Amino acid sequence: AVAATVAVFTNLSVDDQLAVLWYAYTEMGRSITPAATGAARLQLAEGLLNQIKQMSHAEQLQVMRDLAAKRNTQFTRSYGVLSANTKLAFWYELSELMVKGFVVPMPPNYQLSRDGAQVLETLKQLDFGQQITVLRKVVTDMGVDPLAD
Ligand code: 45D
C-alpha cells in the first residue's frame, strides 16, 4: 500500500502534490508533535525557511512548485542536501508558517483531481507509521540532489 501510494502521488500534477501534502498535514497535524520534528533538524533547514519568509506569495508558491517539479535551482539544490527527516521537518514547518500567515495560503476552493483525492483517501487509511513512510519518501524525492551526476 505504501509503494502504490507513493507511485500514484508521484504521478500527480505538481499543484496536486502540494495540495495533497497540505491536506495530509491538516489531517495529521495534531499527531505530529513539534518535539518529534526536533529542533536540531529544523536548524539545518532554517536558512531555507528564512528565505521563504522573506518572499512574496508568488515567489513562495514558485519555490514549492520547483521542489515538487524537481526544477534545478539554487533553492532546490540546497533542499536536496537535507536528510530525509529534515526534509519532512522543513515541510512541517512550512505548514506551520502557512497557518500563521507567513506563507501563501491554499486557495479555499482548490479542486483536487480524482487521483489526488484517491491518494489522500488511501493515505488517511494507513496507520501513522506508514503515513510517515509515504511522506518521507515523497519529500525525499523532491528537490535536486546537487551531488547526482
Ligand atoms: O494558487 O525528524 C496550489 C517524525 C494551487 C520524527 C497552491 C518526523 C495553486 C522524526 C499549488 C495548491 C518521523 C515524526 C496555490 C520528523 C495555488 C522527524 C498552494 C515527521 C496557492 C520530521 C499550495 C514529520 C501550497 C512529518 C502553498 C510527518 C501548499 C511531517 C503547501 C509532515 C503545502 C509534514 C505544504 C507535512 C505542505 C507537511 C507546505 C505533511 C506541508 C506538509
Could you tell me the CA-to-CA distances from 2 to 80, 129, 135, 142 in Å, in that order? 23, 10, 10, 17
pLDDT at residue number 36: 61
* 61 close to ligand 1 (CB < 6 Angstrom): yes
| Distance of CA 23 from the midpoint of ligand 1 (Å) | 8
pTM: 0.93
Q: Please report the pLDDT score of residue 90 as a whole number.
A: 95
DSSP 65: H
pLDDT tens profile 32-91: 766 666 677 778 899 999 999 999 999 999 999 999 999 999 999 999 999 999 999 999
Helix (H) / strand (E) element for 85: namely: helix 84-99
CB of 52 within 6 A of ligand 1: the answer is no
| Cα–Cα distance, 122 to 16 (Å, whole number) | 15
> Which atom in ligand 1 lies closest to the alpha carbon of residue 28?
40
State the distance from the centre of ligand 1 to the C-alpha of 147, rounded, in angstroms.
25
Residue 11 · residue 52 · CB < 8 Å: no
- What is the Cα–Cα distance from 148 to 135, expressed in whole angstroms? 22
